[in-house]
Chain A
Amino acid sequence: MSSNSSKRSSKRPVKDALVTRRRLRLGLGFTMALLLVIAGKLFLVQGLDFGGLAEAATQQLSRTEVLPATRGQILDANGTVMATTVLKYDITAAPNNFNEPGDKFERIDANGEKQTFTREQAVKELADALGLKPEDLAKPLEGTGTYSMIAKDVSPVVEQKVMDLRLPGIYNVPKSQREYPLGSVAGNVIGFLGQDGDALGGVEQTLDSKLRGTNGERTYQMGRNGIVIPNAPSSITPAKNGESVKLTINKDIQYYAQQTAEQQKKQYGADWVSVDVIQIKTGKIIALADSSSVDPNNPGASKAEDLGARSVTAAIEPGSTEKTVTAAAAIQEGKVTPETHVLVPPTYTVDGQNFQDAFPHGTEQRTFAGIIGDSLNTGTVMVGERLTKQQRYDYLRKFGIGEKSGVPLPGDSPGILAKPEQWDVRQQYTVLFGQGVAQTPLQTAMIYQAIGNNGVRLQPQLVESYIDPDGTEHKVSPGASTEVVSPQTAQQVRDMLESVTTAADATNVKVPGYRVGGKTGTAQSPGDGGFVGYTSSFVGMAPMDDPQYVVAVTVQHPKSNIYGVNQGPAFNDVMGQVLRTYNVAPSTTPSVKLPQYYN
């Protein structure tokens, strides 16, 4: 037994070891094979992605959201915000969720305690937060629908109050909204956005590409539970906010001009009135006021024809204010001086065309200054015919008639100025006193800007600067200037314009302390079926010792007797306000009073 066992024990370990080793190898082989299968599968899944599963998963998890760019602001010359984008909320409800608790509403209050309250209480709280009556909410909250609008465009403060109530089924929908804090003040210039955010008028429309900015994008992966997967690839393209636009408009002057326009419109029952203020040395538009300006917050309330800026869209026959062009041209061409004697007959006939004046008079011994002073069509034609037709046309063109003013406003009209060869026999004379030619009130104002600026016409400038989102301000350089007449000619024309207010037609034009000059205009306005009404205007500048500002008042189709219509007081008001606002030093030199008659 013992020998047997010793024999077996000496043999068994060898056999056991062999078996163990074989088993081990087998096990190892099996494990390796399994590993290989797993590795293979792993390679298939991770490396080759058969069936596009990984891609599909990424696509399912990936979310792309637009980071909206904030639209730039529109500012006035002093930086007052005239258009801005604000955050607003719509409060919506899902009535099915709201009505689910029945009459047992529950919430955790600020102290962490559980509150229970009734549906009636919930509705009342909601109504209080929104400033509504509970019965207003009865309809949108009843039923089992999934959506109803509770309140539109509420401020974030109200939204906060509503969301603090923690009512089920009440939701907030953030949205950005364009607001115009000044309302209809400069509304005609600023323009407005449509319901879908498209720019539909004014600077908003013409400078949309600057204001708009570029939307950004954020891509990330989100798990089924709605949590962003932290280390999954994500990318952000930040939004590029729009540039802000600073205008040359001064909101206070603009308001004053608009107020004056409204008043003139009301007083004379006119179709419309525009009041424009231009800075002479720079061509900057300080005010571009129209009556019945649109309130951009609510453009739907305005009539379609009131949506634009008439000062640049309405091409009208200017009338006698155009005599300034004739005077400047005739003096520049050496045909006449302000003192030139002209024997003016009661009516004047040339080429079979008879011209008469607004008031009856006998044969008068007028100086040229006297012709302009009392706005005689007869005398103007007598002097103006010394210019060739081409010269008449060229000077009108040089003063900017027949070309767009270039201000960034929709519908900027070039006016209507036919070529001299197309003028009919009467038109060649009527253009001398502003009939048979049409131009915008702004173009008329720019004629006087050139006269005030020693004969150099500047481009009207509406945009002061563009401001980057980071606050860097890029000044807009003024456009090209045109020398229309010599400084001497401009001075002589200015003396004649001043004499209009000191010795002739418009002695009611006065701004205490300042020398002023200007020209009245009364045009017969053509329309469907001939004469439809008058255009009454006054364009002037001050102070005459160093002209700084032009104010142009244009009243279209006043209803009252045209001889009672006078834009002098309106001009005085606006000009006085402008001069005081900009602290223009009062005149120190004696005013000019050219002789109107000769003996």
Chain B
Amino acid sequence: MDAHKLYDEGHQWYVFGRDPEKPEKIIDTNQYLIVDGDRSILLDPGGIEVFSTMLASVLKYVDIDHITDLFASHQDPDIISSLGMWDQVLPKATLHASWLWEGFIRHFGMDNIAYNGIPDTGERLTIGNTDLEFIPAHYLHSSGNFHVYDPKSKILFSGDIGAALEPPGMPMFVEDFDSHVEKMRYFHERWMPSNDAKMHWLNRVRKLDIEIMAPQHGRLFKGEDVNKFLDWFEQLNVGVATMQG
């Protein structure tokens, strides 16, 4: 599994992905790790199929006792079906996810880890000296959905927003936004259900100072490509399944 350091000024952001060992038919995912001193949080730690690779990758950068928190943007299997495994290696950790999904997420197995249900309006969390904001992204695509914004590094973890469906081995960052658009179009048209929810999110996110937008699938957006993405997403008509046939 590839790992890239995204930020390293006082605290660190890492992205893990492009796993060559993952079974062919499961969707490739990006997992993120934020480390500040002896605390760290894993964002969307991934499915059960990538657990062992993910754990081995993470341990290259942090000691196991220092993984104190997990975050799940929503309840999907590619996000958090590994929970039953993390629960046994990180029995003292806390999982942060929408209050809406607690009873559902627990089906993945959670005997030890504590659950912090994030209220619909969002919440702040401090990891070491780093303040993180859980930004509401409800209905994009899940009915209880959050993103993570770090004002210091100016990184927005945007869950499924910005995701692209591409063959394995693609670069970590968008290199040519115009040609990347077609790799994102169907995903957003089909997986994102509501134009209202989209506008709500855009209004909220446009107020943030974002240097890197980091989705859970596909490539990351940097600098001007972030605004290009927001503009493109704004004009995109989503929820297309109900408009067909």
Is chain B found bound to chain A in the same assembly? no
